[in-house]
Every structure is written in structure tokens, then in C-alpha cells.
Amino acid sequence: MSTIEVKKFIKLFGISYDELGECLVISPFFNPKLFASHVENPQYFRGMLFHGMSGTFKSKKLTFIYTGMGQTLVADCLLAQDKKRIKAIIFLGAVGAVRDLEIADKVIIEKAFFDVSYYSKLGIALGENSKKEFFPCERMMDASLKLAKEKNIFLKKANTLSIHTFIDQGFEIAENLYQSGVQSVDLECALFYAAAKIKQINALALCFVSDNILTKPFWSDFSLSEKTKIKNQMLELVKFSLEFGRNLIL
């Protein structure tokens, strides 16, 4: 890495490359403290954009990075990494169900895509081939499904459309997505996989279903039992990501 790249990284992350674990877990909103209780010797860091912690989990050093929400932050977090040092990156996020999924399901994103027609309101010129699709590392996906089976954890495979805004979500769009076979929507997965492809870093996105954009969108009132169920699935994803990350660097 060049001297400038090293300085950029330290400024943005508050940590140097050689202080990271070989496997990263990144998330737009999971709190680093959720991981701290599961690792030994947690060490926190904070930069201009990103913050997180490193710790030892079953003798392996793992690093968690809180990115903040949105495609740009998640993509920049990945694009900043040194592919010679990082063996794999696990993304933990949330999706809104469109079809074939239930609130609080845990899913592996086997295909993430965006359709730039959703950006037309921002004045971006559209081409005929506007849909772009991106995929995870197949070996990571297979390994995660195998580990989940061993741990009696049920993970569904799903596709997701990464949209650019919460505000545009509505029942008309939801119905159109349902009819076109889209299973879920999110904000980040497509660019996460796209950045991983650019950097040639193995990557996999694991998400929980936070709402249903047709029947119970994010602005709905959720019951205490629904909130508790979602929280429990989040905590299970945290523990699973640590176990999976450790296996990736054995």
C-alpha cells in the first residue's frame, strides 16, 4: 500500500492495517458492544468515518467495523481494505421482506442487484441495460450453510434489491417488486458485493428480516414480542458471524 493510502486508512478508521484481524465483520448499525461480550481483550478504535473493535474469539483475532448506513459508507469501508491481508469480509445487515420471507428470518443474500431506474428522480440518465447483479463468494456461502446446519441455525437464501432511499418505499413500489419476483429490499448489499468484486476479497452478506414492505413496513408499530424476536435473531447473527469468521481463518 502507498504511504497516502496508509494515511487515508488511519484517518478514516483510527487504526492501522496491521492491527486488523484477517476476517472482518462489518455492519451499518450493529453496535460494537454486541461483539465485545463474546471476545477476549476487546480493543476499540474510532476514525473520522468508521469505528469498531478487535478481539480474540477462540484463539483467532477478528475485527468488527461499524460503517453507518448507506451504500457509499459500506462500499468505501470495503474498498479501503488491503486484499493481501484480509481473507474475508462478512456483512451483517437487514432487509425488508417482499415475498417468501417472514419478519425475523435470517437470510444469506445469494444475489444482490440494483436497478438504476430507481435513481431517475435524481436526474441520472438511464440506459437500456439498467439492472446490475452481484454475487457472494460461493465457497463462503456453502461453508456458512454447512456451519449453520451443524449449529441448528436456519438460514434462508434470498435475493435483494438495493434501493437508494427509505423515503421512496411505498405500497405501489412494493407491489411491483412482488410481481417481479424480488424477495427483499435493502440499502447496501449490491454495492457491498460490487466492491468485494473490485477488491477481489471473499465476501458474504448475512441479514435478518426487519419488516415486510407490503404488510408491515418499517414505519409500522411493532409489538413487544415482534421487537424481541427481531432482537434475538440479531444476537444470533452476531454469534454466528464470529464462529463463521473464526472458521474462515483456521
Q: Where are the domains of the chain?
A: 3-248
CA dihedral 247, 154, 205, 41 (to 10 degrees): -40
Q: Are 210 and 230 in contact (CB under 8 A)?
A: yes
Of the options 3.40.50.1580, 3.20.20.80, 3.40.50.10800, 3.10.560.10, the CATH number for the domain spanning 3-248? 3.40.50.1580
Residue by residue, pLDDT tens for the chain (250 residues) are 788 988 999 999 999 999 999 999 999 999 998 999 899 999 999 999 999 999 999 999 999 999 999 889 999 999 999 988 898 999 999 999 999 999 999 999 999 988 656 555 444 444 445 568 899 999 999 999 999 999 999 999 999 999 877 777 777 778 877 888 889 999 999 999 999 999 999 999 999 999 999 999 999 999 999 999 999 999 999 999 999 999 998 6
CA–CA separation, 27 vs 207, rounded Å?
Answer: 10
CA–CA separation, 184 vs 78, rounded Å?
Answer: 23
φ/ψ of 59, rounded to 5, equals 75, 0
The contacts found for 55-60 with CB under 8 angstroms, 24 or more apart, are: 57/242, 57/243, 57/245, 57/246, 58/243, 58/246, 60/21, 60/23, 60/245, 60/246, 60/249, 60/250
- Integer CA distances (angstroms), 143 to 148, 213, 241, in order: 9, 30, 12
